């Protein structure tokens, strides 16, 4: 009987692409990331046979703090359950919620020219009260609850409403800082007023501040850690995911989408572009 020589199993690293604006809807038109849209891919990555580590390939300017926290928590829970190390690799940018995602990893790597940081909270909008007056439109709002119409863009700003919003932002901001400090620990190397004032840095400067652990890319670092024969397996979203989310039919038309929904998608795209533009992208 022929005896086959022992064959060493080749290590695998599963790669999750976290690219786009982080948003509850997970709209594909804006490259949206949400825990719902990523759940299947995350589970597939951690269930891959023979996987030795999970790599997060991150390219995100941020977005929803809630979705950032939910995605990170999902990744951390499975990492603990499966006993797998998590590595994050920053591409162009990991800012705000994008950096929150990166902190889900045990180690973070970036390109020297990557944009990293923006640890803070922001809320933006427009005021249209003067515009509607000029064109003769009367705003009519009926509500119960003193603050139900807080910060209505068609009404003058209310100092009390602003104070409430700032209070909410402060709580979210403090939670963001707490998470970064918990995940990065003693690796952080800088005054809190510098690290957590919303600034962004290049990957090289982020390394000096302890926001990342090294400079390098996905392929070089995984080969360094697991050997030159390591197999890098990208875990993609299901093939029909885009069509299901957008309601695209066989004829390429948007099925059942009303003009208001199309406008909403367009506005989402504009908001996403505004986020990317903050970092020159």
HEC string of the chain equals CCCCCCCCCCCEEEEEEEECCECCCCCHHHCCECHHHHHHHHHHHHHCCCEEEEEEEEEECCECHHHHHHHHHHHHHHHHHHCCCEEEEEEEEEECHHHHHHCCCCEEEECCCCEEECCCCCCCCCCCHHHHHHCCCCCCCCCCCCCCCCCCCCCCCCHHHHHHHHHHHHHHHHHHHHHHHHHHHHHCCCCHHHHCCCCEEEHHHHHHHCCCCEECCHHHHHHHHHCCCCEEEEECCCCCHHHHHHCECCCCCECCCCHHHHHHHHHHHHHHHHHHHCCCC
37 assigned to active site: no
> Is position 148 annotated as part of the catalytic site?
yes
Query: Which among 82, 143, 148, 277 is annotated as catalytic?
Result: 148
Residue among 30, 60, 96, 118 flagged as catalytic: 96
Question: Strand 86-95 to strand 200-202: parallel, antiparallel, or no bridges (unpaired)?
Answer: unpaired
Active site residues: 96, 148
């Amino acid at each position: 009987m022929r005896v086959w020589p022992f064959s060493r199993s080749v290590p695998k690293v599963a790669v999750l692409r976290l690219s786009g604006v982080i948003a509850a809807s997970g709209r594909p038109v804006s490259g949206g990331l949400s825990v719902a849209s990523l759940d299947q891919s995350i589970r597939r990555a951690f269930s891959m046979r023979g996987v030795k580590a999970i790599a997060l390939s991150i390219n995100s300017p941020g977005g929803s703090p809630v979705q950032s926290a939910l995605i990170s928590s999902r990744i951390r829970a499975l990492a603990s359950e499966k006993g797998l190390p998590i590595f994050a690799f920053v591409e162009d940018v990991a800012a705000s919620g994008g950096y929150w995602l990166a902190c889900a990893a045990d180690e973070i790597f970036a390109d020297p020219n990557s944009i990293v940081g923006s640890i803070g909270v922001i809320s933006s909008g427009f005021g249209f009260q003067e515009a509607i007056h000029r064109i003769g439109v009367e705003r009519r709002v009926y509500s119960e609850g003193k603050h139900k119409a807080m910060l209505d863009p068609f009404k003058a700003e209310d100092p009390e409403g602003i104070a409430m919003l700032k209070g909410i932002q402060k709580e979210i901001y403090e939670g963001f800082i707490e998470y970064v400090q918990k995940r990065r620990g003693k690796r952080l190397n800088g005054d809190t007023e510098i690290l957590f004032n919303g600034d962004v840095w290049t990957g090289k400067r982020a390394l000096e501040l302890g926001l990342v652990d090294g400079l390098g890319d996905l392929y070089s670092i995984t080969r360094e850690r697991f050997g030159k024969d390591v197999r890098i397996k990208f875990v993609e979203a299901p093939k029909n995911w885009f069509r299901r989310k957008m309601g695209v039919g066989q004829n390429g038309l948007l099925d059942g989408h009303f003009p208001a929904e199309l406008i909403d998608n367009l506005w989402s795209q504009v908001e996403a572009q505004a986020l990317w533009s903050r970092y020159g992208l």
